[in-house]
Structure 1
Amino acid sequence: MPLNMDLLKKYLRIDGSEDDDILALLVESAKKDLMDSGVPEPVGGFVDQRYDLLIMLHVGMYYENRDSTVNVEKFNTMYQNLLLKLKSR
């Protein structure tokens, strides 16, 4: 099931649709990053909210922090924690 764009925009506190193409690109990038990390997209009607949360964290990180000098250690800790849990399922 694809990530609900309205939920993503609510999570990121985005009104309007002017950045929808950027958000779609970031969602696809997040899915590929998860796949490369050994976490495939859930299929067959299976829903795991942690997968969607990982995508939202990934998108939020890259959408809100376009400055490469930003320290992202807290983000990395949350992301890695959820990623490891999903990989072990």
Structure 2
Amino acid sequence: MLRINCPFCGERDHSEFTYGGDANIAYPELSAPLEAWIEAVYVRSNPKGPHRERWQHSDGCRLWLIVERDTLTHAITRVEPARTAIPGLMK
């Protein structure tokens, strides 16, 4: 069972959260060509090991979080508010 430790609400089941995608993606400017948006939204790698993801605590405080999770074991090593997260940081 995957449990996420929300910094504001405490540890909760993942069913309270909504997955928001890869936190490492740098989205293009709004004026970017359609091809750039297709690449950013639909073309994905499937990493093995530690990975940064966006999750929203949709059934709780509703805040967006950055969750560092191992995609092989589902072990979560870090959870922080998205607004204070440093892009690309993994410890």
TM-score by length of 1: 0.30
**Which one has the bigger helix percentage?**
1
Structure having greater relative contact order (Cα 8 Å, sep ≥ 6): 1
Structure (1 or 2) with the larger CA radius of gyration: 2
TM-score by length of 2: 0.29
